[in-house]
Structures are given as C-alpha cells and as structure tokens.
Structure 1
C-alpha cells in the first residue's frame, strides 16, 4: 500500500494558485487545562489557519435551538469575542461555529432533523448566532446519522436539513461545512455522499480514530496505510489512505474535501508488556490520564514530546508510516512531524481543498520541544502551500 501511494503521489501531484484550506478546531474546554496545557484564543496566531472552527455548540432537542455548551457561559462568550479580534488582525480568516461532536450524541439530531418545524427553529437559531457574533459560517458535526441511537431515515433527513441550511445561509454569504466519518463502514451507513457533496461548501473528513481503547487490541489511531497484519477487508479499510480515497470514489469532489489530521494520539495498556505489536491484547485505556488532556486513552502531541519521549522507546512503522512509543505496559500511537507531513502530501497529491486539524490545543503550541510553536500544523501548512 505504501508503494502504491508513492506512485500515485508522483503521478498525480497538483499545484495550487491559492492558499489551501487549513481548518483548525478550537476546542472551548481547553481554557480550563492546567499548566502548559492551558489553551485560549490568545495562544492562536491570527495567520496560522485559514478557518477556525469553534467547537462546540449544542442542540436543544425540545425546540431545535442552538445552545452554548458550558456552565460558565461568560467564558465562552469572551472567547467568541477574542476570535473576532483575531479576524480583525487577519481579515482573510474565516470563523466557523461547529455544532455537535461525539459527546453530543446522535439521538437528538435525529429527532430534530425529522421534524420540519424543529429544523426551521434550528436554522433560525444558527442565523441569529452568526449574526450576533459576526461569524462566517456554520459547521455541522453530527456523529453520526443513522448510528448511535439514530434512525435509518437520518440519511435522507440529514440531506434535507443541510439543503434547508444552505438555502438560508447563502443569501448572507455564510459558509456551510460538515465534519464526516473517515471510516468506510460508517460513511456507508450515514451519508448520501453525492447529495451531501452537492449541498455543502466544505467536507472535513475525520480520517482518525480508526483504533483506540474502544478496541481490545493495539492499533494506531490514524495509520496512513494498511499493515501486512491487516488481513480482513475491514482491517484493510481502517487507514487514512482508504478513508479519504473512498470519499472521492463515492462522488465527493476533491475540491470540497479537507483531509482531517490529528495533533494527538491514543494509548493502550498492554496485557503483556513483552508483546508490543499491532493487534497485541490490551487491558483498557492507556496513559492513565495525561496531565493536560486528562482523558483516559487520549494524549496530546504536546504531552508526548514534552513529557514522554525522554522515557519511552520510539518506533517508526514503515508500512503504516506512523510512529508509536512504548514504556512498560503503555503503548501510544500518535502523529509527529514526519507522519503528518506524509498525510499532508497525500492531501496535496489527491488535489484536495486542504486539511482539517483536530485540534489547535494539542500541538506543541508553546514550542517547548524545539521545533517552534505549532510544529505539526505548520508542517501541514508548509506542504499544502509548496
């Protein structure tokens, strides 16, 4: 698979006369992180990204309205104002509000999308938010239609909702974007890819979280290519190359696709510390909560490079083209500058609109590790605009 990608890259690389999209998610809860992990809008250079997605706002199921997700709403409103100041510094920066995310679930989106009155309430609520905070567009990250308690009719209702949103947003020149699954099985279940692509302005393909502590075995969260250890059809699909090319094969125009990349990793606790290979048995989440992200099984690149590399053994997988580190029974797969450059080159070779980054706060935004601030995001930016 790696050789196939290299041949493809050489044969089809395309140039660009304008800056590629670099869509970066700002996650609102990072203002509460401790120490070097604390991240606010003030940490964001105004010219780093072309689009900043503010994530997340939520959905009120009972009336379909948009709601700011936080106990301290004043903090959120302050950060929204700070984002507008960043656009004042860089008028070409686009500010997008993103609704949804994993924790929001799927059921209430299914309910609202099925009801014409609730859809209209949602659309008016989105317009009110964009007008009030002077944002440039709306991003819908429903995870996922027809899954997680949703209904089969979600696939069609999702398109109807997007079409109605587009009709309302276009007269005001607001953008409409979506974040979608980079897993083939999930995409097959949730999306009418052709109709979705015809409706929205940009599609951010989340080509990550192919493996994690939700499995009971080791796997990299975002391998570029398949491994020889991937033997079933499903296993061979769980990688970035197959995820993004499936969207193209299914009718999504590359000019609307942004390849989603992570500035984080996922960890595992090995059942047997002497067995560190892919598919080695595991016994739950790894890392036992890293100090900044503070989430079982999840670790930021900033935590890896600042806190773990000195004591963990580093490995590079030549087939999957990604790194991982091991210390005792702890195994962490993540992206570094080398692997994320290869992903950016894939996006460029496919003629994609650009890249999406999840997320700003887990890059080495302080530049503590010696490669300057935001080494991963700046690597992607450099490659896309070469």
Structure 2
C-alpha cells in the first residue's frame, strides 16, 4: 500500500543537478516546500543498477541534510531517470526491475532520502504498459517489505512518478502509443503510489510549434482545447485516477520565438520562427530578455504570459507569479494533491514563483478556500519578477471576474513601468 497519508497539500519542487548548480543547494527556500526532489539518479540500461552521476555524487549524498537545515520537516525524494533517459529495456526485464528497485531503496536509505520517484520521460509503446504497472507494484511491495523489517513509520519511503500531461501519450501523427489509463496502471497509481506528478507543461514550444507562438504552458485553451493543463487533468480524473493522487506541474521557464511581423502580429499564435529549442529559466528571462523596452501581456483565460520587445522581433512565452498563483488556486478548487515546481533552480533571486505558489495555499486554503481574502493572500511584491517589484506595487490595479477573460499589459523601460490589470484569480491583490 502507499505510505501514510499525504499532507493536506503537496508543495514540491524538483532540483536538477547540472543546470541548477550555479546556485547553491543551501539557497533553496525549503521552508516554502513540503517535498524536494533531487534529480536525477542514473539507471544502467544493461543491469538496471542505480547510481548517482559521478560528477554530482557528493551533492546528491548531502542533498537531504542540506535542505533540512532551513526546514527540518521537508521530505526529500530521489528522482530516477529524467529527460532523455530510456528506461524501456530495464522496465521490460524482471531481473533489471529487481535491481533498479533494490539499488534505489539502498541509495535512498543510505543517504537519508524520504522517498523515490520514477521520472520516465516518456514511455512510448503500448507493450510497455504492463511492465510499467509491474514495476510500480513490485517497487511498492519491496518498500512495504522494507518497512515491515524496520518497523519505524518514519522510515517508510514514499513512492511517486512523473507522468505526461495527458494520460495518453501521442505519436507525431496524434495516435496514442502509450496509455496510462491501462487498468493495471490505474490500480497501481491509485493503490501503490503516493501520487503522480503531472507535467502540465510545453503545450507550445519551438519544437512542437515552430511556425507560431502560443500560450506555452496554458491552463485553459479555447482555441485548441487539448493543448492545456486543465483538459489533461480532466482526462486523468475521468479515466479513474483519484484527484488527490494528481499533483500539478508548474513550469519555471519559457521559450523564445522570433516574430515574423512584429509590427502587426505579436500576441499568442502570431507567425514566428524558433529562436532556440532550449528552455529559458525564469530568472534568465528577467535578467537577459526583459532588459530595455518591452511589453508584457498576461491573459487570465490561459493563465499565460508573453513578453516582446517593442520595436523588435523577440518574443518569449512563460509563466509568471500571476500564472503560478492562478494555477495553484485551480488545483485547490479541483481538490488535487498539490503542486510541484519544474524546476526550483530556475526561479529568480527573490524566489518569486516559489513564493507565489506557496502563498496560494497558505492559511490552510486547501481546506478553507472561502477564507482566502484580500487580507490573507499574496503580497504584490512577489507576484512578478524582481525587476518590477517597486513599480507594480504603486501602479497595479485589479478587479475580480469569474466569467470573462481579460489581459494585463505591461510596458517597461529601464526606468519606468506601467501596469493595468483586470484578472480573474480570486482577489490575489
């Protein structure tokens, strides 16, 4: 069985070793999180063995104790796999699965992790569905056996998995190649896992939308309903996964395009070409992209933001504090298990996005959403990037709407900022 009851709301974040190491692990504001993931342990495709990447071995080993300095109650999980890791050969073999399970548990216990996470991005064939379910079942059985031998509740390891934003993973032609709603997987998720982390991200990126911009990590999308987080969550729930088993992914990065006709078309779905297929961290967007004169538009219908250079052709779509706050409130309303940041180290110097998410659930909002009022919600100063803090406190105006879609438009130069807004995310200002 899954481990003891989860907290009222999961407030998690992934720390990627590699991209995040230009920041110190000790800097992570672990007081804003209930769970922190260290990613990613390496799997040997020939044996199923699990090890830390050699170049980051010491950082992995000390991660749990380091983040507990600021928050002794934070739980740490070792995430296995990560982007670009093909686990198909390991998952298909019972012997390799056994090695993966045994060695991952040994690593977690030796270095004081509180749980394990399977981050297979992503399964791609229907014949992988059965072995995937088998891995989850066998992993939980091994954890239960280990717990029975230790007899200490504090030592019972959590087990989670990162999954695609929709329960069906499509091929390039749109046909479903792997379905998480296989009955065996549904049972494994609901019974064997503590929760799944739904990567509600990358609905529009230079790789899947090379000729036009888009609401990169849209929560809703009336134009293309299937390309948004809310529709994916709905399909998970309609497919039989308990809502409280779903933890919503919050992206801390964006993507850049070059506009084709910047003087006439500069919004979502504007003609454009890819500037780069690589994601840009939120802090880099603030530090590198949003310098000089630019316009930023927030659309509450999508919970999405874009910025483009005035008299220029650079365009970038991303999530800011308003988007993050709104998505977490949606997760609360849907009674999801919580949220996770993908990835914590991409936040800005003020941890704007991490604070926005955490403040959306403070005051026990997950159980008492009606108590969220203007007096008990998030400070304006951490809703947007540090480059706008002072000016937005003075110039932001807002009204509340629950039925209409509106936009925020910001024009910023090196010295001035004007911001007007009409938004629909429940009295956040």
TM-score, normalised on structure 2? 0.73
CA distance 1:135–1:270, shift in 2 (3 Å)? same
For each residue in 1:306-337, what CA deviation from the matched residue of structure 2 results, as whole angstroms up to 9, or x when unmatched? 33334321112243231100122221111111
Q: Which residue number in structure 2 is paired with residue 281 of structure 1?
A: 271
1:268–1:297 CA contact under 8 A, matched in 2: no
Task: Report the CA distance between 1:245 and its aligned residue.
Answer: 1.8
Q: Which runs of 5+ in 1 are unaligned?
A: 1-16, 33-37, 287-295, 368-373
> Which of 136, 144, 149 is residue 122 of structure 2 equivalent to?
144
Which residue of 2 is the match for residue 180 of structure 1?
163
Deviation at 1:200, TM superposition (A): 0.7
Report what 1:292 is aligned to. Answer: none
The separation in 2 between residues aligned to 1:39 and 1:318, in whole angstroms, is 32
Q: Out of 177, 187, 191, which is 1:195 matched to?
A: 187
Distance in structure 2 (CA, Å) of the matches to 1:143 and 1:31 = 19
Contact conserved, 2:331 with 2:338, CA < 8 A, in 1? yes
- Gaps of at least 5 residues in structure 2 are 1-5, 148-155, 171-175, 366-429
Distance 1:118 1:321 in 2: 42
Change in Cα spacing, 1:236 to 1:257, as seen in structure 2 (3 Å) is same
Aligned-residue Cα RMSD (Å) equals: 2.1
Please say if 1:321 is aligned against 2:321.
no
CA distance in structure 2 between the aligned counterparts of 1:278 and 1:31, rounded to whole angstroms: 30
Q: Please give the alpha-carbon distance, in whole angstroms, between the structure 2 residues aligned to 1:245 and 1:43.
A: 36
Q: Distance in 2 between matches of 1:91 and 1:185?
A: 38
Normalised to the residue count of structure 1, the TM-score between the two structures is 0.81
Residue 160 of structure 1 pairs with residue 134 of structure 2: yes
* Separation of aligned partners in 2, 1:182 and 1:347: 14
The alpha-carbon deviation at position 19 of structure 1 amounts to 4.4
Greater helix share, structure number: 1
Q: Secondary structure at the match of 2:31?
A: coil
**Structure 2: distance between partners of 1:266 and 1:349:** 29
Residue 206 of structure 2 corresponds to 213
Match of 2:285 in 1: 304
Partner of 1:375: 352
| Structure showing greater Rg | 2
CA pair 304-119 structure 1, distance change in 2 beyond 3 A: same
Aligned length: 333
Moved more, 49-58 or 17-26: 17-26
